[in-house]
A and B are shown apart, each in its own frame.
Chain A
Amino acid sequence: DADVTQTPRNRITKTGKRIMLECSQTKGHDRMYWYRQDPGLGLRLIYYSFDVKDINKGEISDGYSVSRQAQAKFSLSLESAIPNQTALYFCATSRDGQYDTQYFGPGTRLTVL
């Protein structure tokens, strides 16, 4: 089984709809992250959480919210989806050592019509 899972893997929705993307991990990591990836722009950080009680905004948090329900779960919500939120969304986890890097989920491809 994958260590970091994301649901759904693909989603098509309409402008104005509320969408939730979910991420779960079995790696036992405290830190979790949400990124979006757009062609030519690379990965951009939306939100990150260093533990259940710690939530931080990333570079592009406007239009998004998150919930850290447990150490293993970190959800991303689009309260009112708009077309420019069409992107590939990745969840990632990490420990907190100097050389600890991040492990990514398989991604959610979101299309907002």
Chain B
Amino acid sequence: RKEVEQDPGPFNVPEGATVAFNCTYSNSASQSFFWYRQDCRKEPKLLMSVYSSGNEDGRFTAQLNRASQYISLLIRDSKLSDSATYLCVVKNRGSTLGRLYFGRGTQLTVWP
């Protein structure tokens, strides 16, 4: 089983829509959680960290459910510029401390 599983999409939504991405992870000892954004043929860039209590950054809200080993990202009022691939990322404890595990990404297209 992969460390991190994501629905690959694609998600195609109109401007102004609300869209949610989900992600599950397999290791209950996972320590930290992140969402990255990757534009086509570009490097992944950190979008936001995900904290236990949930956190919000403008139009973006991230949630963590440790009991279900589930992470989510909600984007409100979608913009054309939100079109990208969103990567769910998990960091584990143990001998590989510091190593990140990446989901395969969820592709989002926002249309006018």
Name A's B-contacting residues (CB within 8 A): 31, 40-43, 45, 48, 50, 88, 90, 94, 96, 98-107, 109
B43 contacts the other chain (CB 8 A): yes
Contact among B31, B44, B99, B104 for A40, CB-based, below 8 A: B104
Contact among A45, A96, A107 for B43, CB-based, below 8 A: A107
B20 contacts the other chain (CB 8 A): no
Give the distance in Å from the alpha carbon of A82 to the alpha carbon of B73 in the complex: 38
Q: Are A101 and B89 in contact (CB-based, < 8 A)?
A: yes
Q: Are B43 and A98 in contact (CB-based, < 8 A)?
A: no
Q: Are A104 and B100 in contact (CB-based, < 8 A)?
A: no
With A50-B98, A94-B98, A102-B100 in contact, is A42–B105 under 8 Å at CB?
yes
Q: Are B102 and A90 in contact (CB-based, < 8 A)?
A: no
Interface core residue of B89, B99, B103 (most chain A CB under 10 Å)? B99
Q: Are B49 and A101 in contact (CB-based, < 8 A)?
A: yes
Contact among A42, A96, A105 for B98, CB-based, below 8 A: A96
Q: Are A45 and B32 in contact (CB-based, < 8 A)?
A: no
Give the distance in Å from the alpha carbon of A43 to the alpha carbon of B85 in the complex: 12
Q: Are A107 and B42 in contact (CB-based, < 8 A)?
A: yes
Nearest-Cβ distance from residue A60 to partner chain B, whole angstroms: 13
Of residues 1 to 52 in B, which have CB atoms within 8 Å of A's CB atoms? 8, 31-32, 34, 41-46, 49
Q: Are A98 and B32 in contact (CB-based, < 8 A)?
A: yes
With a CB–CB cut-off of 8 A, which chain A residues contact B8? 40
With A40-B104, A42-B87, A99-B49 in contact, is A106–B42 under 8 Å at CB?
yes
